[in-house]
Amino acid sequence: MTGLGPPLLMLSSFTLLTVQHYGGLALKIKNIATAFAALVVPGVLAAQSLPGPNLCTFYEHFDYKGKSVSLHAGHVLAANSGTSVSKAFAGGKRFDAPEWGSTMSSLKLSKNCQAVVSNGKPNGKEGGEVTITTDLPKFDGNYNDKVSFVGCSCK
């Protein structure tokens, strides 16, 4: 936390705590215990916090629990460097993160965002590539812990 300055705590209209450091970093926190953890360990967020604007947030476990990773609009996360991704994300920022391919189980979307999720199989009976337009607390058996890539797009 060197050079960030003292944190500020304030209540928003949604009764979420906002922890903001000088330099523009802002985190929305649901309870005091998590706010304290965020002050002690930077980057700690409540598992069920609302995604920020133009984000698709993927969670390690069902019901938005466990670790999470958020993608901005136009970004894609691939389970390995050899994974080919949807043409819809050509030119977008790509992140290779093999640790996430076998751990994604739920998804929260910002307003006006959608996610593309692929299990790397041809489209059909076992899944393939699907577009999700609403929060999804549980990936089905074709996608739960079997993701080859995910992408985020927002209007």
pLDDT at 86 over 50: yes
**In whole angstroms, what is the distance from residue 91 CA to residue 121 CA?**
23
Domains within the chain, CATH numbers bracketed: 8-40 (no CATH), 55-154 (2.60.20.10)
- CB under 8 Å to 45, separation ≥6 — which residues? 27, 28, 29, 34, 38, 68
Q: Which of 35-39, 79-83, 89-93 has the lowest mean pLDDT?
A: 35-39
CB atoms under 10 Å from CB of 10, counted, come to: 8
DSSP labels, 1-53: -TTS---EEEE-TTS-EEEE-TTS-EEEESSHHHHHHHHHSTT---TTPPP-T
- pLDDT at position 124: 61
Mean pLDDT of the chain: 72
Task: Single out the residue of 143, 147, 115 nearest to residue 51, CA to CA.
Answer: 115
Beta bridge partners of 58: 69, 107
Q: What percent of the chain has pLDDT over 90?
A: 40
Beta bridge partners of 114: 153
Q: What is the pLDDT of residues 9-23, one digit of tens each?
A: 333 333 333 333 333
